[in-house]
Structure formats: structure tokens, C-alpha cells
Amino acid sequence: MSRVVYLHVGAPKTGTTYLQDRLTRNARTLARHGVHVPTGSPLVTPALFQFRAALDLLGQDWGGAPGHARGAWDTLVRKVSRMDGTVVVSHEILAPAPPERAARAVRELGDGAEVHLVYSARDLARQLPAAWQESIKQGRKWRYRRFLRLSQEGRTWFSRAFDLPKVLETWGADLPPERIHLVTVPAPGSAPRDELWLRFCTALGIDPAWAPRDSDQANRSLGTAETQLIRRLNRRLDRATRREASFDELIRGMLAQDELVRRNSPAVRMPPALHPWAAEQAERWIGWVRDSGVHVVGDLDDLRPVPQPDGEPWRDPDKVRAKRQLGAAVDALAAMTTEAARRRDPDDRLLARAREATGRWRER
């Protein structure tokens, strides 16, 4: 039996949701060509199963009922060990794993197999604004300025996940450079829509035609007013409530990724004053990649930040006009009221708290 395992460890905010969903949608056709995307059962998608396995490997337990990830990593390893051909394991929360966890993953997946590491990356001018929005969707309360300062200092989870040299040194410690694949994410509008998928397939050594079904899944971006609204709502909800599954369903799912992304609002961008720092980080990354000899799929220029166009003002996400926030709040309240009417239980605790918090949007 011959087996090659491609372990895709992120980074977050590099189109991973799209890539994982496309793998899931085409799992059967890929399997016919000897490419396997392991899952736990027919009732669990590969993406969800591999998320739980990643949580279990990292010793974490969030995103579901207590204990929902227990034993998932060992189950994944057993399933992979029974497969022949190419196996793809993917989740972005693995990127900032500590060395001992990364070594365990490579060792256990590599028992009787050849392991390859895949890491996707894009420039920090796009990464950090997207990461702040994602953290707000997940229940964080910090202001944009504080998030950026802590990220510059390497003190956020996202900054550790985005540190290209550190991630590849940690995960690739026991791998030759030719088995480490860096996929760069093209800038919006600079390449065909499916360019990222084509690059990902190149890294995996598979034919894109084996996965003809496209995906419409993506973590779409919120504007400044909408992100500020969710942040202020998070401040009104206690920590226990923000960790409930219903919070993820209502706030992150319905509001942040459905209703509010449809509004026309200025985008969250990196402050112009931080562009020199982002450019300096890009040059550090590029220099490391060139010296390392890892396999690059794409263009290293994709890692260099593109400055904001001249004449386009930068909007501070921490200073959004009250009128803009009010418009977002009314739309959010309308969506949640409709959802409350649809539900059988009108006394849903989280929904009641969210409505109350939204109604007090003017208070600071």
C-alpha cells in the first residue's frame, strides 16, 4: 500500500473555507481518482470532522457541546492509516500549533505514509483587517487599534497563525523542503476566480478536473459599521452567552455572514501608517522562503501589501458615525425579530438578550 498525506494547516483568512467546502463537495469524485478526504461518518462532513480532529489534537474544546471533539484525532489517524493513495487533511486552526503538537501530527499521520505540508498565505494588509472582523464574529470585544497593536507585537492568535516562517519551521521541522508547499493567494481581481483552487490542486498534485463542483462558501467581509455593531453587541453579552452554540448560529451565522454583509458600508482596511510595517514583514517572509527552498505555488509578490489607492480616504473602524451604526442596528434587529417569529420558542434567551443589547446601541 502506498499513501501520501497532504496536511493543510492554514493560514486562516486565506480562502480555507472555500477550499475545504470544495473538497467536501467533490469527495466522491476525488475518491474515484484515489484522492481521499476523510470524514467520521456519512452524517458528518469532512470539514466538520477534521475541525473536531484539529481541536482534539490541540487539546481544545469549543464550537460545540462539551466533549464534542474528544477522540476525533485518534479516529482521523485510524481512518487515514486504512487509506491508499492521496489523503487530504485540512484545517486552519492548526497553523499556530505548538511544536510538540505539530510533531505528533506529522509523526502519527506519517506512520506508513509520506507526509507533505501545505500552507496558504496572503499579504498582511488583507489578512489583519479580515482577522479582526473574524475575531469579532467569534465574540471578541477589542477595538481595531488594540487588535492591530497586539498583532504587531505577536500577541494574538491570528498573528501567530500568520507568521509564515514560524509556522513552516514548526510544522516542517522533520520534513524536507520539497515536501513543504506554500500557496500564495492572489489579490482580488488579479486572477480568475478559481485561481486559488488551481494553485491548491497543484500543491496537492491532483487534476482540478477531478473536482468539478464549485463552492459558494466564503467568509464574506463586513463593513466598518457592521463590524462595530457586532463588537458592541458582544460587549453587552456575557462570556458564557457568547460561548453558546446559539450565539454562533444567530450572531456569526445569521447576522455576520448573511444579513449584514449585504449592506453597503466602507470596508475595513489597514491604516496607511502600518503599511511600511506590513511591507517589512513581507520582505522578511519572502527572504525566508527563498532561502528555505520550499515549493512555492503562485507568486511571492502576492505577499507584498498593495497600498490603498491615492485619493481614497481611510475610514477608522473605531470611529463610525452613530447614524451608520443605527442603520446597521435596525437591519440586525429586523432580521432577528423575523427569526424570533419563525422559531417555536419566542423566549430564546440569547435572542432576547441580543434584542435588548441592540436596542441600547447608543450607550457606551
Q: What is the CATH number of the domain that holds 77?
A: 3.40.50
Domain final residue pick, 188, 210, 232: 210
Residue 184 sits in the same domain as residue 250 = no
- Is 288 inside a domain boundary? no
Residue 79 sits in the same domain as residue 8 = yes
Identify the sign of the CA torsion 276, 281, 284, 290: negative
- Is 93 inside a domain boundary? yes
Q: Cell digits for 351?
A: 435572542
Greater model confidence, 267 or 154 = 154
- Is 329 inside a domain boundary? yes
Residue with grid cell 472582523, as numbered in its chain? 133
Residues 107, 105: Cα–Cα separation, whole Å:
5
pTM, full prediction: 0.88
Confirm if 351 and 242 have CB atoms less than 8 A apart. Answer: no
Residue 7 sits in the same domain as residue 32 = yes
Give tens-digit pLDDT for 276-304: 999 999 999 999 999 999 999 999 999 99
Give tens-digit pLDDT for 159-173: 999 999 999 999 999
pLDDT at 364 over 50: no
Residue 139 sits in the same domain as residue 247 = no
Residues 160-189 have a mean pLDDT of: 96
Those residues with Cβ within 8 angstroms of residue 231's Cβ, 6 or more apart along the chain or in another chain: 136, 140, 141, 142, 143
Domain count, the chain: 2
Q: Which of 67-76, 83-92, 174-183, 253-262 has the lowest mean pLDDT?
A: 253-262
Residue 53 sits in the same domain as residue 164 = yes
Reported as a pLDDT band with limits 50, 70 and 90, residue 355 is low
Which domain covers residue 228, as residue numbers?
224-266+321-359
